[in-house]
Every structure is written in C-alpha cells, then in structure tokens.
Structure 1
C-alpha cells in the first residue's frame, strides 16, 4: 500500500492560514439547536478553548481533475472540540480543493504528537491525522483538576473551488469530533458522502448527494439533507433527527437510534410510498400528516407500525427505528 506523499501537495506551514474559532461557528439547522447532549438535557461546555491555544496549520491541495474521491482517517486521543467543516471557496481564482489542518496545543511540545500525512491509494486521495501513541501518565490521587496546557485538538477546513458543481466521493472516519457544513456546501452535489465517528455530532443544512450514509456511536446526526437515491443515518447512544428533501421522486430513507429518539421530516407534497416505524420499549411511535386519512397502516402490533402514505410505491420507503428507550417519529408536513 503506497505511503509516499503526492508530489506538488507538500505541507505548508502558515499562521495566516489558521482559521479563527468564529469561522467554525456555523449556525445549526433549525431542528438541531438542542443537539448538545440532547438525551441528557444538559449543555456540555468544552474545556479546551481554541483562542487560548497555540495553533499550527498544514495546508494540502487536491486537484479535482486528478482526484474525485478522497478519504479522511482521523484517529488518536484528541480533546473534545475537534471538528471538520465543508465549504465552498468565495475566491474564483482557486482551482484546487484546499484542506487546512490546524492543530491546537496547550504547549508547543504537544504539536509534534499530531501526525499528519497524505498519499494516494488505489485512485483515492488519503489524508490521515493521528496522535502519537504514548504511555499514559500515572494515575494521580487525588486527581488533579484539568489543565489547559494538556489540551490537543484540531480543526479541518475542507474548501472546494467556487466552480465545483459535482464531486464523486467524500468519506470521513473519526474518533471524537463534529462534522458540519459551511458556506456554499449546499451548491455542490456529491456522488456519495460517508461519515462515521465514535463520539460527536454530524450536522448539515443542505448536504446534497446521490447517496448519504452517516453513523455515530455516541452522539447525534441532525440537520437537513438532500439525497437523490438513498439516505441512511444511525446512532447507537444519542439521537437521529433529520429533515429530508429528496431531489428525485423515488427515495429510500432509514433513520435509527438504538438507545435514543429517531425522527424523519418530509414534505407531504413530495412523498408517496411506504413507511415503517419500529421500537421495542419507550413511547409509542408517531406518524403525522396534513390529511390523516392518507396514512394507511397495514401492520400494527407491538413495536411495529407500517404501511404506506397516499399510495403504495415499492420504490420509495421510509424506515424510522428507535429500538430501545426512544420514540420513532415520521412527520409529513
């Protein structure tokens, strides 16, 4: 497997490229305002403050003429507060995709623990960010209070050229972070978008792709999405609450949360097809539409409410699954 950096895309160090904390402060989608620890109903406050940390940036350039698929592998123990933002450049002269990786550290010697690499693999452009694995310090007793000098986290700003209308594939795999959309991302159509994270949140307001697959182990998937063929989103511990705006008439949608609520919102005027809501325990499932008589339930038993909306259509189906301790809901508005 090749591991050599791609020629012409060398790392560039520049403090001028360091994004400010305000640049990443993207407004949340309307249905995601309470995403932080929604199921615990309390607000989580980050301990590590970006403006108070030492920043160092690495800038990578990806030619969309050469690469139409890119993957990000972000691993290692970083502090909470790391995030990735997708956006579209406002500079018409920019022709390459710019990936700005900024590492924030409480002390200079921690910077070297963040290892950044880029290479080609089977036609894909790969970006890796890992934290050097070291033996953890001995356990203190009594435990000391958190100290910001031990903070190490990152932000990644993926900026597409202004002329970008289509990009084939984007995949992100991460340990602990927030993935969100920035300016202009709704104007780009992707062939496929996949994102899988262990702890954190995925939030977009108008992400458009033929196929979208999102997964979070501990956290939330929320926002507005515009799939053409298929949308899949799931959390294990957390919440999945999405608004779907299909770009084609026939669509497959699935939203699930094993331990938490799950809901899908669709425009009633633009959907005709099947539905199925599942849950084992917790509140009863809910389906709401402007004309209740257009909701046809053909299967109703413990944990299952299934049928079709308006007319039977095997090419369109919505599945909402809140298996344990959650309430599945389908809102046709």
Structure 2
C-alpha cells in the first residue's frame, strides 16, 4: 500500500497521469476522492487491473459489500494487501516511491573547488521595499551589511564554487517580483541528488547602499548548512527575519521593529536592538544574545530547547534603561537571573518547582517583558551585565 502513496495525498483530490512501461499507451488523468474509502479502493483496483498487476491483493468491493459498508455500523472496508510486505510486488517505475534526499553535506574545502560561477542581482530599494532570499542548499556565508560607496541599489552577489562545471547545470536562480512589484524574491534551487555527493558552496552577499537608512523587510532563509553574519549598523528595518536549518546566526547591531531569528541545529549569537518584538529560538544548540531595547513596550522571547540559553539586556550608549517583567524557565535546572547591581534590582516573587522564576527588574509597573526558556540546558537572564 505504501507504493500507492504517489497516487494521492491528504488533499481532497489528486490528478496523476499514468503511462505504461513502454510509453505507447497513455492512461487518462484519474480523480480519486480520498474522503470516500470505498471509491478510493475501487480506483486502486482499477489501476492495478489496467497496469497488469495481480489483483489478488486488491479485492474489488461488490455492491453487497458496498451496502454493508455504507449502512451497517462499524463495518470496515476490506483491507488491501499486496504481494509483498510494505508495497506492490515488482511495481512499475512510475509507482515506485523515491525517498527524498536527506540533509547530507560532504566535507568541503574551498581550496579544492576550482570551478567558480557568479551572478549579480541589483534592484532599487525605493521600488522593492522587501527582499526575501531563500537558499535550498549549502549556504557558506551571507553578509547582509557590507557597504559600498556611490551606489543607490541593493546588490545581491551570488558566487557558486564546485568541483566540476557540470554541477552548475543543477542550480537555478529564480527571481520573482510579487506584491505589485514591491517584494523581490530570490530563490536558489539545488535539489538534484548528485549535489549531495559533491561539494557545492554558496557565498551570498547582500550589500546595502550607504544612503539607505531604513528598509521595510529583509528575510533570509536556508534549509541546510549556513552561516549568517554581518554588521548592520546605521540602518533599521520594519521586519527582519533569518532562519537556518543548520548553522550559526551571528549578527551585530540589528535594529528593527520586529526581529525574528531561528535555527534547528546551531547557534544564535550577536546583539540586537528591537522596538516591538524580539524572538530567537534554537531547537538543538545554544542561544546567547544581547538585547538593547529601543522602547518600553518590547516583548522578547529567547529559547534554546536542547542546550543553554542566555539573554543579556542592556541599554546601549546614550539610551535610556527600562524596567522589565521576566519569566526565566529551565525544566531540568534552576534558572539564574542577575544584574550588574547584584540582587537589589532583581525581584523574584514566585518560584514554581524551582524551575520557573517569575519577577521583574527594577519596577513592577512596566510594559516590557522578557521570556527566557530552556528545556534541556541552563537558562540565564542578566540585566546590564558585561
């Protein structure tokens, strides 16, 4: 039955063109109602019969059985079995399940990659107020803040390094303008199986002009290995989002109204200056960030589920300091909350199970809030610590 999964999904209907193994006959497109198990069983039987597959394992429901199935409480559809456990015996090629490639990445050295190919994408920030950069592959480096002089456009430099030139044939760089041409989407696609056994490195550089002081949205995403680093001083964002499957996010001086960072396996470090919300989360790894609130209404959440987490809150040079409510949570340890003045500014009014601290920094009457959480690691919150 597993091999027939290619014929439908969890949607209400599916269309799947079939052709025989010789390519001479073409079966029409078939519609399968996945809500009705009786109809689905009949279509499966018909497909097996037309494909020349033994129908012994696909009993065709009779009208009498249909009435029983539809009208008798607790009646069940006859179980469909195949000639071998887990699928059809000797299935045709178009019914074979192909296991999707896993997140494997070979050990690569940049000195061994002799083939290099570069692509440059340039666009004006006044026209495209949002940039979404998506990389399906191995992201070696992304620097979203190296400035160049005498330039008014945002420039995306994409450099590919590979062992052989033919690997470039499996890479596509798609550029799409959406939202009435206000959002620039750049998607680097590298799903070919041969890439998993060879070294292919991406070096992506997002260069912002020196005259750009504010940008609406910047989103960078990589599904696999990556390192995102750079200094974003002297520019602010309405929304800044960065996510990696595996890798490190190490940014400096990120100013934004809403900042969201995440990685599945890896680490998040750096210092950030949010106004409304700040979210940083790692599933397995570590989250060690510095937060410089730019308003008294900031809501922050810092998480590392399997690993240590530390949030250091400070005001920055020449900026006011704000009071803050706090929740410090550590399932398997006792969380720690400290400040530069010792314990006199930290007020813990509740400790539940010795693993959750509820309290506030300096004054209770504040709208700022920080939540620090770790499940299988240490949890630490520090106010104005070095």
Shorter-chain-normalised TM-score: which range? 0.7 to 0.9
Higher strand share: 1
Distance 1:63 1:329 in 2: 42
**Runs of 5+ unmatched residues, structure 2:** 1-105
Structure 2 residue 160 is the aligned partner of structure 1 residue 106: no
Distance 2:256 2:221 in 1: 18
The aligned counterpart of 1:275 is 326
Q: 1:89 to 1:293 in 2, by over 3 A?
A: closer
| CA displacement, residues 2-31 of structure 1 (integer Å, 9 cap, x when unaligned) | xxxxxxxxxxxxxxxxxxxxxxxxxxxxxx
The aligned counterpart of 1:191 is 238
Residue 326 of structure 1 aligns to a residue in which SS? Answer: coil
Within a 5 Å distance, the mapping from 1:248-287 to structure 2 comes to: 248-267=295-314, 270-281=321-332, 283-287=333-337
Within a 5 Å distance, the mapping from 1:1-333 to structure 2 comes to: 47-53=107-113, 54-76=115-137, 78=138, 82-91=140-149, 93-122=150-179, 123-134=182-193, 150-175=198-223, 176-182=225-231, 185-267=232-314, 270-281=321-332, 283-289=333-339, 290-302=341-353, 303-323=355-375, 325-333=376-384
Deviation at 1:51, TM superposition (A): 3.8
Residue 111 of structure 1 aligns to a residue in which SS? Answer: helix
| CA displacement, residues 68-109 of structure 1 (integer Å, 9 cap, x when unaligned) | 111011114x3xx62211114231x21110000111101111
Distance 1:291 1:177 in 2: 38
Distance 1:295 1:87 in 2: 37
Distance 2:365 2:261 in 1: 25
Distance 1:165 1:114 in 2: 34
Maintained 8 Å contact 2:323/2:366? no
Maintained 8 Å contact 2:160/2:203? yes
Deviation at 1:223, TM superposition (A): 0.7
Distance 1:51 1:167 in 2: 36
Distance 2:195 2:217 in 1: 37
Residue 365 of structure 2 aligns to a residue in which SS? Answer: coil
Q: 1:102 to 1:135 in 2, by over 3 A?
A: closer
Could you tell me the TM-score, scaled by structure 1's length? 0.77
Moved over 3 A (4+): 134-137
Distance 2:206 2:324 in 1: 36
Deviation at 1:110, TM superposition (A): 1.1
Residue 82 of structure 1 aligns to a residue in which SS? Answer: strand
Deviation at 1:194, TM superposition (A): 0.7
Deviation at 1:292, TM superposition (A): 0.9
Residue 168 of structure 2 aligns to a residue in which SS? Answer: helix
Could you tell me the TM-score, scaled by structure 2's length? 0.66
Distance 2:163 2:245 in 1: 24
Distance 2:377 2:188 in 1: 35
Distance 1:75 1:136 in 2: 11
- Aligned-residue Cα RMSD (Å) equals 1.9
Deviation at 1:291, TM superposition (A): 3.8
Aligned residues, how many?
269
Maintained 8 Å contact 2:217/2:239? yes
| CA displacement, residues 46-69 of structure 1 (integer Å, 9 cap, x when unaligned) | 932224322211000011110111
- Bigger drift between 158-167 and 312-321 goes to 312-321
